[in-house]
Amino acid sequence: MDPRAFTEACKRLGSGEFDPETVEQLRIVVEERMPVRYAVPFPPDVQATFYRSGSNTRTRRGQWHELVQHLTDLTYLTADEFQQWHQARAADLPPTGELMDRVLAALGAFVAEDAFAPLHRGCPYPAAGRQARLDWAEEYLTPAVDRLSTFTSFDGELAVNAGYRLGDRSVYGRSMAFRMYTLFTYVYADQHRRDVYLDESDRPLIIKLNRLLARDRSGLDEGLQGLLLNAGALLEAFWRARLPTGTDGENTYILYRITGPPSPDSLALEEALRTELANRRQLRELPEILEYTGGNDFARRLLQLTLWRIGYYDGALDSDFGPRTHEALLRFLEQESEGGRRRKIAKILVRREGEGAYAVKLRPLGKRLRDYAPPDKQEARNLEDDIWKRIAEARQIDTVDQTFAERQQEATEAYGAPQRHPFRRVYFAVGSLLRAALRGIARIIDWIRRAVSFTLGAIFDFIKLVAKRLREGVGLFFTGMRFFANFFLGRPVVTPEPGSTPVTVAALTRFGLDFDTVNYVADSAGAEAVRDHGRLLRRLAAGAEFFLTVAITVVRAAAAWGTPLGWIHLGVLIARWVLDMLRSPQGAKVSLA
């Protein structure tokens, strides 16, 4: 059974064919085929997510990891808790109950601080109870992670808050603090001491940032907020600010010095790029930005941030331009030198006299990086379609599903080993990844056809892009389909008797197609089971509007779509439909009317 079976069933449902055969076809595809293909359990089940080793729930676990990273960056969790989470992950163990409680409390604190409609329209976040909170988290994981990701994204996904003032205690205030600390003091000895929100004590940093960008301001006004939200625009503003008036800015450099011997990969890349020693003219120009000024430090951090966003750098953002960042820069330049641009690219990086000393010419580098600026929504959609079109043109559509399933794990190390390095982060926003992936599409296609090994850069971007899309779309769609099955396809809602072996039914409710409803309660059912079943029905009713909208949105869109190009392409499309619904004004209201 291939993805066409899914779209065919959706088309039939969409034309009003609610017959058992159609229902059964949809059930088999969604409940049996997709969970295996996408490594997302159906139905969402906490125990299945964390207790089963192997790859069949990998995607769902990935969404929890993303949640924990966002909650940490916004200081709902500490760096210690982040590290503990990843230590458990690395040991293939579930998080401890105590740690899970802290994560769930952090999630509750976020939900309380943010008014994002999809998180508040259905069942409210439970005031207490691990299991009740886990049930909520499993159902609302996608909208929660999607919303959180906008607060940590540097792709300009969050709108400027004109009403924001220093000292505001809101999730937006946390987001502003995260950005300032990322740009100036991200690595700190004890995260407990990091300010959660910005206040007047942070004014000197804000003044410094304004000066670095040559802005005649001293506050965190809307313009500066906009730059903090969009690293592409920030880099552009910095680049323009550093251009000496009346010149073309050719003589502006970022300087760095790496310690220790260069890695074999670095040497090979330098050889390929034919990096040259700075000539006399360049040596004269170099001091124009002194190596130890704040400007140079800020520039190095901004370069790290950019290389991280486009998939070439996986270390901490600390302005410490060590071998890892150096290699990331070399890989980026190597990718850019494809297509006959090698000579131009080679001039961007020059070696200085002395061991491990380099200078990066800011202007041409800025031009290259400008091509990676996050796209707007429509352009992002076009880029994504272009990627799949190029894969289809290369006749690799039939192999991409299998290759991805088998080779996805090659990127494991590139995720930065956060169990050992609690300040390394994965960049999750997809806009920059799309651009980087499309620019390196030839390399990606070679990877799909198994002609090249995994490398950071475009291949890593492609893997992250696909994994992220599957996480975003499929989990929420599955939850929607669970509601759809209960309320439309006749699947009973069942509460088992606690501790029974074999597991027996304590209470069962079946909503018929005409909504005539049958409850059954076993004579032997305990009060706890009956209470749990009532709670489950209330939760289903509270979430019905939202989750049925999710399921119906996807079924409708799939019915209107042509044939998807394989399973992964279908997963990408489902993510698009789900996110469109979540982020549209109509979807945010979750109105079915």
In the complex, the smallest distance separating the C-beta of residue 580 from another protein, rounded to whole angstroms, is: 8
Sites for another protein among residues 19-78 (CB under 8 A): 19
Strand blocks (E) in 207-356: 253-257, 276-277, 349-351
Per-residue interface string for the shown chain with another protein, residues 502-541, x marking contact by CB under 8 A: xxxx--xxxx-xxxxxxxxxxxx--x--x--xx--xx-xx
Nearest approach in angstroms of CB 498 to another protein is 12
Nearest CB to another protein, comparing residues 112 and 513: 513
Q: How far is residue 414 CA from its own chain's centroid?
A: 15
Of 364 and 496, the one with the shorter C-beta distance to another protein is 496
The CB-side HSE value for 185 (13 A sphere, CA atoms) comes to 13
Q: Which pair of tokens denotes residue 534?
A: 């009532």
Torsion 127-471-94-316 (CA) sign: negative
Residue 256 to residue 261: CA distance in whole angstroms: 15
| DSSP conformation class of 230 | B
Cβ-based nearer residue to another protein, 194 or 491: 491
- Nearest approach, Cβ of 55 to another protein (angstroms)? 21
Interface with another protein (CB under 8 A), residue from 17, 21, 32, 413: 17
The sign of the torsion formed by the CA atoms of 317, 90, 433, 140 equals negative
| Nearest CA-CA partner of 309 in 297, 321, 317 | 317
- DSSP-H helix ranges across 20-96: 20-27, 34-38, 46-51, 58-73, 79-90
**What secondary structure letter does DSSP report for 414?**
G
Residue of 5, 8, 14, 381 that binds another protein (CB under 8 A): 14
Stretch that binds another protein, among 172-180, 311-319, 367-375, 543-551 (CB under 8 A): 543-551
With 0-12 / 13-18 / 19 or more C-beta atoms within 10 angstroms meaning exposed / middle / buried, residue 43 is middle
Q: Are strands 276-277 and 349-351 parallel, antiparallel or unpaired?
A: parallel
According to the binding rule CB under 8 A, does residue 267 interact with another protein?
Answer: no
Residue 474 CB, nearest distance to another protein (Å)? 17
The CB-of-138 to another protein minimum distance in angstroms stands at 18
The alpha carbon of 251 is separated from its chain's Cα centroid by a whole number of angstroms, namely 37
> Which residues, 451 to 510, sit near another protein by CB under 8 A?
487-488, 490-492, 494, 496, 502-505, 508-510
The residue (of 390 and 491) whose beta carbon lies closer to another protein is 491
In the complex, the smallest distance separating the C-beta of residue 492 from another protein, rounded to whole angstroms, is 5
Distance CA 94, CA 489 (A): 33
502 preceded by cis ω (within 30°)? yes
d(CA 203, CA 222): 15
Closer Cβ to another protein, 99 or 536, answer by number: 536
- Whole-number Å distance between alpha carbons of 591 and 576: 19
Nearer to another protein, 4 or 284 (CB): 4
Instruction: Closer to another protein by CB, 160 or 540: give it.
Output: 540
CB-wise, 48 or 166, nearer to another protein? 48
Those residues whose C-beta lies under 8 Å from the C-beta of residue 246, and which sit 6 or more positions away, are: none
Tell me the C-alpha distance between 456 and 412, whole Å: 11
Site for another protein in 555-574 (CB under 8 A): 555-557, 559-560
For residue 115, the minimal CB distance to another protein (Å) is 22
Q: Which is nearer to another protein, 427 or 488 (CB)?
A: 488
Of 160-168, 313-321, 383-391, 547-555, the window that binds another protein (rule: CB under 8 A) is 547-555
Residue 126 or 543: the one with the smaller Cβ distance to another protein is: 543
Comparing CB distances to another protein, the nearer of 271 and 516 is 516
Tell me the C-alpha to C-alpha distance, in Å, between residue 51 and each of 37, 48, 55, 93, 130: 19, 6, 12, 7, 16
143/309 Cα distance (integer angstroms): 22
Q: How far is the CB of 517 from another protein (least distance, A)?
A: 4
How many C-beta atoms lie closer than 10 Å to residue 321's C-beta? 24
Q: What DSSP line would sit under 136-154, residue for residue?
A: HHHHHHHHHHHHHHHHH-S
Please identify which residue in 152, 153, 182, 553 interacts with another protein, judged by CB under 8 A: 553
| Residue 194 vs 583, nearer CB to another protein | 583
Cα dihedral 267, 268, 271, 275 sign: negative
Determine the interface stretch with another protein among 13-21, 412-420, 431-439, 459-467 (rule: CB under 8 A).
13-21
Q: Phi and psi (nearest 5°) for 37?
A: -65, -40
Residue 21 Cβ vs another protein, minimum distance, rounded to whole Å: 13
Shortest CB 190 distance to another protein, Å: 47
Number of amino acids touching another protein (CB under 8 A): 58
Binding-site member from 438, 548, 574, 575 for another protein (CB under 8 A) = 548
**CA distances (Å), 573 to each of 56, 174, 194, 378, 470, in order?**
21, 32, 40, 14, 9
Q: Which residue's CB is nearer to another protein, number 285 or number 532?
A: 532
Q: How far is the CB of 2 from another protein (least distance, A)?
A: 22
Q: List residues near another protein by CB under 8 A.
A: 13-19, 487-488, 490-492, 494, 496, 502-505, 508-511, 513-524, 527, 530, 533-534, 537-538, 540-542, 544-545, 548-549, 552-553, 555-557, 559-560, 577, 580, 592-593
